[in-house]
Chains A and B, each alone.
Chain A
């Protein structure tokens, strides 16, 4: 913030000819802190290495007195090569405005195209056409399960009754996942616009954004964005002069991972204890306060305006935003076309492990997902290919692990997470996760026998098959997928006597 303030002071001097603004995340976390310099169409990312805010402001002043900023690279800084794979292989359509616009300034977002698609949709006044477009685009839910978005919208639209509700699930809780946060902090209006279009399409009058309390900056920016959009008439009554009205309110979670599960999320919005309930009835039929409710994830909504802007052909197969972490040379948030191979993402773009150790596995989908072995790195990243490997696309967390990683350790980490986050409603998840973690710890302490390993596998299957909600059903996935692809890691941890049996 000091850098922003100092540079803004420079820009305010008469005749500086530049504007300085705060923007959301640029993407390459490992190169941060970052700022960008835009001259005409040319945008360069500059990584601050060792200079202070006041030094940078002085350099800016000097550069301005010399003339253009086109070649400017301050001392103690490094200009990122726009042709580097991390940047060049991305297709930023959802994240297009992230890092470009000031997320706290609606007029800046508007000048970059925000709310134009909502305006066009309201002018065309054809909700069926909107749903049809979403259906034909093949867009699938970006929150994890990958349910076809168009089908969900059509179901809610077809529900009887005049009152309907819309929910945006911004309870991003997977360890190593920060895609939705990037969108919300960098371009909140894209989500609001997507929600307004969705509300128009399904006939909802009121919406909720359910966001985790651990995202204070995203909450502050969303609050501001909602207030500005209301003031500007993009939310509220008779939006853009049409007969369509849509109100939006923010609900902040209280730190429970399970509230990302849609029925628990609904309970939480209603002010009840955030525990899941059996489905059916699905939220499309019986959602918030018993009304038909459309629930989509942040990134799904953020796809809607860009889908309308590009049209089916140019939108193509669409993109997925991933957050890359773990043993990689370059980490951060990237957006790539669906179907990009894992190898391209983790080796070419992220540069593989920093000290050239071989990759052992890539974890996707958080505690609900699994580990993909290095041998399967050529798999295209799409919903069905990942499912076939025993993991899920998930919300987009991608953790790369090198050869020093013990996969039993990884499984134990995720099991401890699920154990901690289990709501406790159903027995298999409440107690099964405890016993599974105990078995994994026993293995790690080299005290386990072959019988323990068998029990681990059997109990994993029971918890998967018997649990009430998605959290419990997928809690054993990190165990089952590592057992499937890395059984040797488990066998090596058996008691010395047992391993030879």
Chain B
């Protein structure tokens, strides 16, 4: 296997050809925020938080969907990128109803962690307070659209890993919403296997186990990677 050498910030990194820039960044232990990306799921490049500057390219490139090339020089943390990431996080907060104090994911929320990390103490954009609903029709789980950031991890894990394809995105633009089945109540969707993978990959408190409080609510993103890897080595029955 051939190897690519690249320079990320001020570190030289060697990584197998065909890897993504994000893998190279992570291998160098450089922290770049992500939300839609999750090891084990197909990349979509939707959250735009992992945008990096690549010398010689006018455009910013999403690290999760960009393949490494030998000799690449990458900057992950310029002031321009820092400002952009903060803006993106603020936009996320402005479009939903993210009230940490009453959220089951308080203290365990990737969005909350990112807000702290990018130094966001308030949103410079006006809050939209959209009128969104909560779906509690499933016997074990709940979905609070107020907290959903449309990362589509649940859509992908259900389709790609569980193979049930319960979730999808309905409507468009600011009206986008995660839908179960054909926009039916979750509890009415027979395809759901009650596996709970969507709950485990949800970065916020949008998908949750009924009866869990903040003490019990923990994401388990690592489990997914272990499952996918195990399957690829045929250690686990699919």
Query: CA separation between A421 and B174, bound complex, in Å?
Result: 10
Q: Interface code A255-286, partner B: CB below 8 Å = 1, 0 otherwise? A: 01010000000000000010101100000000
**A interface, over-half SS:** helix
B129 contacts chain A at the CB level, 8 A cutoff: no
Query: CA separation between A466 and B171, bound complex, in Å?
Result: 22
Query: CA separation between A135 and B194, bound complex, in Å?
Result: 57
Whether A422 lies near B173 (C-beta < 8 A) is: yes
The residue from B60, B126, B173 contacting A466, defined by CB atoms under 8 A apart? B60
Closest chain-A Cβ to B79's Cβ sits at a distance in Å of 13
Whether B173 lies near A419 (C-beta < 8 A) is: yes
Instruction: Find residues 239-269 in chain A having any chain B CB closer than 8 Å to their own CB.
Output: 256, 258
Whether B48 lies near A424 (C-beta < 8 A) is: no
Closest chain-B Cβ to A327's Cβ sits at a distance in Å of 30
Closest chain-B Cβ to A281's Cβ sits at a distance in Å of 10
Stretch touching chain A among B5-13, B39-47, B206-214: B39-47
A431 with B60, Cβ < 8 A, contacts A256-B172, A419-B173, A459-B87 known: no
A427, A428, A433, A465 pick with most chain B CB within 10 angstroms: A427
Contacts of B171 in A (CB 8 A): 424
Whether A431 lies near B174 (C-beta < 8 A) is: yes
Q: Interface code A462-491, partner B: CB below 8 Å = 1, 0 otherwise? A: 100111100000000000000000000000
Contacts of B233 in A (CB 8 A): none
Whether A419 lies near B60 (C-beta < 8 A) is: no
Whether A422 lies near B172 (C-beta < 8 A) is: yes
Whether A466 lies near B94 (C-beta < 8 A) is: no
Query: CA separation between A455 and B91, bound complex, in Å?
Result: 13
The residue from B62, B124, B126, B174 contacting A424, defined by CB atoms under 8 A apart? B174
Query: CA separation between A435 and B83, bound complex, in Å?
Result: 17
A309 contacts chain B at the CB level, 8 A cutoff: no
Whether A468 lies near B46 (C-beta < 8 A) is: yes
Query: CA separation between A404 and B126, bound complex, in Å?
Result: 31
Query: CA separation between A275 and B149, bound complex, in Å?
Result: 17
The residue from A427, A433, A438, A459 contacting B47, defined by CB atoms under 8 A apart? A427
Closest chain-A Cβ to B178's Cβ sits at a distance in Å of 11
A426 with B173, Cβ < 8 A, contacts A435-B91, A435-B126, A462-B84 known: no
Contacts of A458 in B (CB 8 A): 87
Contacts of B135 in A (CB 8 A): none
Contacts of B110 in A (CB 8 A): none
Whether A424 lies near B172 (C-beta < 8 A) is: yes
Whether A431 lies near B48 (C-beta < 8 A) is: no
Contacts of A425 in B (CB 8 A): 44, 46
Whether A426 lies near B46 (C-beta < 8 A) is: yes
Whether B174 lies near A432 (C-beta < 8 A) is: no
Whether A278 lies near B62 (C-beta < 8 A) is: yes
A108 contacts chain B at the CB level, 8 A cutoff: no
Closest chain-B Cβ to A104's Cβ sits at a distance in Å of 36
Whether B46 lies near A431 (C-beta < 8 A) is: no
The residue from B48, B65, B124 contacting A427, defined by CB atoms under 8 A apart? B48
Whether B48 lies near A422 (C-beta < 8 A) is: no
Whether B88 lies near A421 (C-beta < 8 A) is: no
Q: Interface code A207-245, partner B: CB below 8 Å = 1, 0 otherwise? A: 000000000000000000000000000000000000000
The residue from A256, A273, A427, A468 contacting B88, defined by CB atoms under 8 A apart? A427
Whether B45 lies near A278 (C-beta < 8 A) is: yes
A430 with B176, Cβ < 8 A, contacts A424-B150, A465-B84, A468-B48 known: yes
Contacts of B172 in A (CB 8 A): 256, 258, 421-424
Instruction: Find residues 183-199 in chain B having any chain A CB closer than 8 Å to their own CB.
Output: none
Contacts of B176 in A (CB 8 A): 423-424, 430
Whether B174 lies near A466 (C-beta < 8 A) is: no
Query: CA separation between A277 and B152, bound complex, in Å?
Result: 14
A431 with B92, Cβ < 8 A, contacts A273-B169, A438-B126 known: yes
A389 contacts chain B at the CB level, 8 A cutoff: no
B122 contacts chain A at the CB level, 8 A cutoff: no
A420 contacts chain B at the CB level, 8 A cutoff: yes
Query: CA separation between A473 and B83, bound complex, in Å?
Result: 18
A277 with B173, Cβ < 8 A, contacts A459-B87, A465-B60, A466-B60 known: no
Contacts of B48 in A (CB 8 A): 426-428, 466-468
A434 contacts chain B at the CB level, 8 A cutoff: yes
Whether B175 lies near A428 (C-beta < 8 A) is: no
A435 with B60, Cβ < 8 A, contacts A424-B172, A427-B92, A459-B87 known: no
Query: CA separation between A278 and B47, bound complex, in Å?
Result: 12
Known contacts A458-B87, A465-B51; 9 further A-B pairs (Cβ under 8 A) = A275-B169, A422-B174, A424-B169, A424-B173, A430-B150, A430-B174, A431-B92, A468-B46, A468-B48
5 contacts between A and B (CB under 8 A): A278-B45, A427-B48, A427-B88, A459-B125, A468-B46
Where the two chains meet, the residues of A that have a C-beta atom closer than 8 Å to any C-beta of B are 256, 258, 273, 275, 277-278, 419-428, 430-435, 438, 455, 458-459, 462, 465-468
